[in-house]
Structure 1
Amino acid sequence: MTDGTKKRVKRDLSGWLVFNKPYDMSSTEAVGKLRWLFGARKAGHAGTLDPLATGVLPIAFGEATKTVPMVQDGTKVYRFDIVWGSQTTTDDVEGEVVATSDVRPDTDALLAALPRFTGVITQVPPAFSAIKIKGERAYDLARAGAKLDMPPREVEIDAIEVIANDATRATLSVTCAKGTYVRALARDIAEALGTKGHVGALHRARVGAFSDADAVSLETLEAAGAERDAILLPVAAGLAALPEIRVDASQAGVLRRGNPVLLTGRDAPVALDEAWASQRGQAVAIGYVEKGQFKPRRVILSR
């Protein structure tokens, strides 16, 4: 280059990073920042986290991006605050207040209301969300002033726990499936208690097998320098929810060429809808077992 600087070489890096996303950073910004920090050629995230939310944002590099759907489908755990007494346009602290109430539910009333929000329930997503309506993101339409009729959707909530509650706000923990909108949950719980509410704070504590215990801050990554790669988890970390099929080096070579292999041995499965093949702990392929054969759908290259 004419100014004497060298263009940064992008690396074929593969693995998972459990990023502790800070407040006021979008998921897209996080991917861009970490891709640059690691010098990675390819990166993506497993499940959008709102800019105003903090916590677990799994980042996949290289071959790990092939395992993103498995992580996205994992169970989520969120810790969140409901601010009592006001509803906002965004159902969080960023929006304008559109309705208020003087009602402040006590803890007994809150606990009594929560069973109706567990199991399979119907939610109306917030207007300020990433859902597409006629090809446009809902939040873009909402910011432009459009009045949206958000389509309801079914979501599954495993459990809700009350951590604290007072006249100002409640802190809760929810364990839920993919697609749940915590902002809508907070709004609806408040409505069910005869008041108004919005999310005052939101932290994601778990996505599938990845939790706060694994999460690494931006400050730690920046300070790690040459040791940064050692923080990454293997590609296989994104496959923890699937049955593992162990293969030998010869079978691994066959699978990586996109061909099936016959599974032998007393405990070899005959049929599985989804599984992953490993060789010495490293991911080889994602696929399924049919009539005793492992058939690859996605091949994981060795890097």
Structure 2
Amino acid sequence: MARQGRKPKGRPVNGWVIFDKPRGMGSTEAVSRIKWLFFAQKAGHAGTLDPLASGMLPIALGDATKTVPFVMDGEKTYRFTVRWGAETTTDDLEGPQVRTSEARPSRAEIEALIPRYVGEISQVPPTFSAIKIEGNRAYDLARDGEPVEIPARTVTVHSLVVVDMPDDATTVFEAECGKGTYVRAIARDMGRDLGCFGHIVDLRRTAVGAFDEDDLVTVAEIDAAADAGLEALDAEAVEAGAKARVTDFRPLDSLMLPVETALSDLYEVQLTPDQASRVLAGNPVLLRGRDAPAFMDDAYAVGHGRLVALGSVEEGAFKPKRVFGGKG
């Protein structure tokens, strides 16, 4: 007899939690915590954030995991602080110093150098990074003492500005950049070009794709929502050592953003109830109206009050590629 598939553990909850990750917490740890609190069947994140970094870690629950690539391909904004005078093995505070200098750059020298770091630039990712080399993570090889050679690659930096210089050894920057850009490498390379060396001492991500700082949800807000949904235990249960469970998920669910929030840069197709039913069955539908596009590589369709499918527009018809069948 064929074994029947196991029922997924958890709730079929769908949406985005734009988590304000605190410094010291790993990205995988953050996802596990959110998945457990929301009792979600499926969870993932849209772009690793180093444990020493803080800020935006978009966490996808349920059907939102299908839209992760669109978020990861989006622009990201970072605010970071560089300490001049030393280069480290990790390009941040975690690693030991390997080069030092008594030189300190002026603001004018730094701003004169910035144009070299804006636009399409060639960048060698940090040795301690998640880049894969022959199937192994670069940071794993580096920690094992293996030689690590990562080839340079082209990345895009849309803007880089000096925000503050609290002292002659410290500069605060803000950068808007594309996928795959390492601001730790920017700090390292600028330090070398300025002849003073440098490393990051603070890093915060403030925007990813369609999400900005107004969407952030803190640990305190999530914990408070979880507490608000805890079951009420009587005195006898408390005395017996029972632990309250979250039974009302409405406070937590109110912190989520809809799945389609991640797709704001794509063309939106509004479906009638009949069209939505056809798309949910995997069928294409013709688009009506003078402004309807004939071709579009990426689009999403909304119907029945929710996201229905990801797809494309070809010859004036929306063709579904990925259908969202879950509720929520």
The normalised TM-score by structure 2 is 0.88
Runs of 4+ in 1 over 2 A off after TM superposition: none
1:239 aligns with 2:240: no
1:201 aligns with 2:225: no
Tell me how far apart the structure 1 counterparts of residues 304 and 109 of structure 2 sit (CA, whole Å): 53
Question: 1:279 aligns to what?
Answer: 303
CA shift, 1:58, in A, is 0.3
- What is the identity, as a one-letter code, of the residue corresponding to 1:178? K
Question: 2:173 aligns to what?
Answer: 172
CA shift, 1:266, in A, is 2.1
Tell me how far apart the structure 2 counterparts of residues 213 and 255 of structure 1 sit (CA, whole Å): 33
2:254 aligns to what SS in structure 1?
Answer: helix
Tell me how far apart the structure 1 counterparts of residues 287 and 48 of structure 2 sit (CA, whole Å): 38
2:319 aligns to what SS in structure 1?
Answer: strand
1:269 aligns with 2:287: no
CA shift, 1:245, in A, is 1.0
Matches within 5 A, 1:65-80: 65-80=65-80
Tell me how far apart the structure 1 counterparts of residues 52 and 313 of structure 2 sit (CA, whole Å): 42
Question: 2:252 aligns to what?
Answer: 228
Question: 1:123 aligns to what?
Answer: 123
Tell me how far apart the structure 2 counterparts of residues 25 and 293 of structure 1 sit (CA, whole Å): 45
Contact 2:121 2:156 in 1 (8 A): yes
- Superposed CA deviations along residues 279-302 of structure 1, whole A, max 9, x for unmatched, are 265211111000111011111124
Tell me how far apart the structure 2 counterparts of residues 106 and 280 of structure 1 sit (CA, whole Å): 58
CA shift, 1:261, in A, is 0.9
Tell me how far apart the structure 2 counterparts of residues 177 and 104 of structure 1 sit (CA, whole Å): 29
Question: 1:163 aligns to what?
Answer: 163
- What is the identity, as a one-letter code, of the residue corresponding to 1:214? D
Tell me how far apart the structure 2 counterparts of residues 254 and 89 of structure 1 sit (CA, whole Å): 56
Question: 1:3 aligns to what?
Answer: none
Question: 1:103 aligns to what?
Answer: 103
- What is the identity, as a one-letter code, of the residue corresponding to 2:256? L
Question: 1:182 aligns to what?
Answer: 183
Contact 1:18 1:215 in 2 (8 A): yes
Tell me how far apart the structure 2 counterparts of residues 234 and 201 of structure 1 sit (CA, whole Å): 31
C-alpha distance 281-86 of structure 1, shift in aligned 2 (>3 A): farther
C-alpha distance 280-106 of structure 1, shift in aligned 2 (>3 A): farther
Tell me how far apart the structure 2 counterparts of residues 16 and 187 of structure 1 sit (CA, whole Å): 34
- What is the identity, as a one-letter code, of the residue corresponding to 1:255? V
- Structure 1 unaligned residues grouped into runs of 5+: 1-7
Give the structure with higher Rg (CA): 2
CA shift, 1:151, in A, is 0.9
Question: 1:219 aligns to what?
Answer: 220
Contact 1:284 1:302 in 2 (8 A): no
Tell me how far apart the structure 2 counterparts of residues 49 and 23 of structure 1 sit (CA, whole Å): 10
Tell me how far apart the structure 2 counterparts of residues 254 and 231 of structure 1 sit (CA, whole Å): 32
CA shift, 1:37, in A, is 0.6
Question: 1:55 aligns to what?
Answer: 55
- What is the identity, as a one-letter code, of the residue corresponding to 2:171? A
- What is the identity, as a one-letter code, of the residue corresponding to 2:190? I
1:71 aligns to what SS in structure 2?
Answer: helix
C-alpha distance 114-66 of structure 1, shift in aligned 2 (>3 A): same
1:133 aligns with 2:133: yes
- Superposed CA deviations along residues 126-161 of structure 1, whole A, max 9, x for unmatched, are 110001101100000000001211111100000001
Question: 2:248 aligns to what?
Answer: none
Give % identity.
Answer: 51
Tell me how far apart the structure 1 counterparts of residues 141 and 112 of structure 2 sit (CA, whole Å): 37
1:244 aligns to what SS in structure 2?
Answer: strand
- Superposed CA deviations along residues 222-250 of structure 1, whole A, max 9, x for unmatched, are 11133111111111111111111111111
Tell me how far apart the structure 1 counterparts of residues 20 and 305 of structure 2 sit (CA, whole Å): 26
Matches within 5 A, 1:144-159: 144-159=144-159
Contact 1:55 1:204 in 2 (8 A): yes
Tell me how far apart the structure 2 counterparts of residues 117 and 64 of structure 1 sit (CA, whole Å): 34
Aligned residues, how many?
A: 296
Question: 1:292 aligns to what?
Answer: 316
Tell me how far apart the structure 1 counterparts of residues 305 and 154 of structure 2 sit (CA, whole Å): 37
